[in-house]
Structure 1
Amino acid sequence: MSLPIDKPVVALTLGDPAGIGAELIARLLARPETTAAANVVLVGDPWLWADGQRIAGVEVATEPVASLAEVRGRADSSRPAFLAVDTIAPQQVVRSQSDAAGGRSVLQVLDSCMDAALAGDIDAICFAPLNKHAMKLGGLKHEDELHHFAQYLGVTGYFCEFNTLDALWTCRISSHVPLAEVPKYITGERIIAAAGLMVRSLQASGIAAPRVAVAGLNPHNGEGGTCGREEIDVIEPAVRELNALGLPVVGPFSADTIFLRARDGELDAIVTMYHDQGQIAIKLMGFSRGVTVQGGLPVPITTPAHGTAYDIAGQGRADVTATANAFAIAARMGRAQRESFLSNQKFAA
């Protein structure tokens, strides 16, 4: 007899108070399919949540909870739970401007969600856009939020950022580092770890047999070693080792054509070598639909791939498509997380 699977608990946050996050979450929660997919809990300041609804022109009924530990046991999850917190006052926020107060607010909310994930109270997190500059002003000690998440959650293995566009996923061997430093990150170990993590993550999101390809680093894939040897000395051997491990990863393919294969439906995922190699293609193909997935963490964490859009904050113009896509991935991965937990509980019993 199989155990019943309840809806995954997904925490939503309002993002940078000076940006478009609260408006996006209001639009998302106004959609009935959102609470049909997950047991949703919103974590944020009440005034900011009210402001987001006002800007979006919607009203969303919520159920107050005193802690994230209460959410899973709710008898009715047809409307979102709301955990009210006080992290920032309205007078501390200047719309469309990054500052320390906003960064501290974001960190406080995200850390409380990660505490709940570690305690097993939630299954996934989807956060509205944040601003790295504001977070660093507010106390972020890392190059980006992913490294903060990894340290906070005690991750010791490989982790990396995934970017998705509809059915296509990408990850990168180096991320938020100067371009001049990229070559030192191109190692066989990192390529094997990234590609392996990509395969496992795609499987967790529902793709049983992912088709994953690796991009080269140099122009025209190094032109047989005359325009760089990383393809010959590092990337090709890593792909061979991945194949020996039973992972049908292919490549390397020249970075200026690999996304044509993806566009034509030949691939589920691409492992790129540095930030802009994949990001330019993904954002050009569908900026308003892209999602960032924080890969390699013990809890699924997603966010829309676009930023805080300070230029349109407060104007009621923010497009919710990427946020809805990010939530959908969080719900799917959170459900897989919950199923795995319940299955382990069954066998332990």
Structure 2
Amino acid sequence: MSEAHRPTLALTLGDPSGIGGELAAKLLASGEPQRLADILVVATREELDRAAAQAGVEVDVADAPGDGRPVLRDPGRPGPLPTVTGRVDRECGVWTKAALEYAVGLAQAGEVDGICFMPLNKAALHEAGMHAEDELRWFADLMAYTGPTSEINVLPKLWTARITSHIPMAEVADRITADRVTEIVAMFEEMLRDSGIEAPRVGVAALNPHNGENGIFGRHEIDEIAPGVAAARAEGIDVQGPFSADTIFLKGRDGHFDGIVTMYHDQGQIAMKLLGFDGGVTIQGGLPVPITTPAHGTAFEIVGKGVADTNSAQNAFRIGATIAARRLARA
């Protein structure tokens, strides 16, 4: 990576009641993120010191840029650092939400090229006033971004995106259109390229059992999904489908695809978590800057025990830095 293309990433510590601070402290203490990017740690000194103590490590940060160390940026949150651990807490949600808002502000101001956030708690954020259907929609609203988005889930050898996400199952079928399929496939293929996959191969899942069985079990495959795939292929994308949802992940597991587009949340999530939960990453796909996070949650049950594994956090930072660097190079 040339210095001209070295990205700057904002790193937030996640919900103070969970393992996010420990993960961030271990990550910074390892020195690995510093090899990939310049870092703005969005936290107070007290918050970072407490996280380092929980993790049993020392973290060396600077108050201003200049010597290559991560730089501490206090987001100026109201009130003291919450002291509760291991449970849902509104004040922890307020603390988390404010850090994320500050990080997005850094991205919009051009101070950072990407954001990596440690695990948050949706219930705490909801109590704190985050009422969008999920974090991705909330980030898009903050950025006033109206383009195509999809949560992307990543394992070392397979990525997934989805046409619909955090909505009731009763609404899924009506949200699946040919245009939506085409735009999500195109966005997904670009994200795969930005991650370093030079010629991505994308597969698309069906909605209905047995791929609709030629319309016997439903016509979404014929009327919406296949035309959407054909339109994406006409744009030069290496995409195939639709394939039956109960077989497409066998093709993915065996290396036929780099990424799979599913129709709804659990269609992909169940398969991915069976294929491998450890090391997983979630990307807020389609946004103007890469935003990544470990795929797991706040793990309240192990807070402070020193056993939190950093594999997913390391992967999340690495992927975010890689995407940011490649976008800088392309620009």
- The verdict on a shared fold, with TM-score over 0.5 as the criterion, is yes
Is 1:124 paired with 2:114? Answer: yes
> What CA deviation, in whole Å up to 9, does each residue of 1:223-256 have, x standing for no partner?
2222222112211111111122222210111111
How far apart, CA to CA, are the structure 2 residues paired with 1:76 and 1:36? 13
> What CA deviation, in whole Å up to 9, does each residue of 1:165-221 have, x standing for no partner?
113111011100111211111111111111000011111121121000100011221
Cα 1:310–1:186 shift into 2, 3 Å: same
Is 1:159 paired with 2:158? Answer: no
How far apart, CA to CA, are the structure 1 residues paired with 2:205 and 2:15? 34
More displaced, 184-193 or 3-12?
3-12
Offset at residue 339 of structure 1 (A): 2.2
How far apart, CA to CA, are the structure 1 residues paired with 2:83 and 2:137? 26
Offset at residue 29 of structure 1 (A): 0.9
More displaced, 47-56 or 136-145?
47-56
* Partner residue, 2:224: 234
How far apart, CA to CA, are the structure 2 residues paired with 1:113 and 1:107? 10
Please tell me the residue identity of whatever aligns with 2:329: E
Structure 2 SS opposite 1:319: coil
Q: How does 1:141-160 map to 2 (within 5 A)?
A: 141-160=131-150
Of 55, 67, 74, the residue aligned with 1:76 is 67
Structure 2 SS opposite 1:252: strand
Q: How does 1:175-324 map to 2 (within 5 A)?
A: 175-324=165-314
How far apart, CA to CA, are the structure 1 residues paired with 2:183 and 2:114? 23
Please tell me the residue identity of whatever aligns with 1:38: A
Structure 2 SS opposite 1:158: coil
Structure 2 SS opposite 1:224: coil
Is 1:99 paired with 2:98? Answer: no
- Alignment gaps of 5+ in structure 2: none
TM-score (normalizing by structure 2):
0.95
CA contact (8 A) 1:99 1:138 kept: no
Root-mean-square deviation (Å): 1.5
Structure 1 SS opposite 2:172: helix
> What CA deviation, in whole Å up to 9, does each residue of 1:143-183 have, x standing for no partner?
11111110111212111111111131110111001112111
Structure 1 SS opposite 2:84: coil
How far apart, CA to CA, are the structure 2 residues paired with 1:40 and 1:14? 13
Offset at residue 86 of structure 1 (A): 4.7
TM-score (normalizing by structure 1):
0.91
CA contact (8 A) 2:206 2:242 kept: yes
CA contact (8 A) 1:64 1:84 kept: no
> What CA deviation, in whole Å up to 9, does each residue of 1:108-161 have, x standing for no partner?
111111111111111110000111111111011311111111011121211111
How far apart, CA to CA, are the structure 2 residues paired with 1:238 and 1:33? 41
How far apart, CA to CA, are the structure 1 residues paired with 2:149 and 2:5? 28
Is 1:89 paired with 2:88? Answer: no
How far apart, CA to CA, are the structure 2 residues paired with 1:139 and 1:84? 21
CA contact (8 A) 1:93 1:101 kept: no
Structure 2 SS opposite 1:63: coil
How far apart, CA to CA, are the structure 1 residues paired with 2:129 and 2:234? 44
Q: Which runs of 4 or more aligned residues in structure 1 lie more than 4 Å from their structure 2 counterparts after TM superposition?
A: none
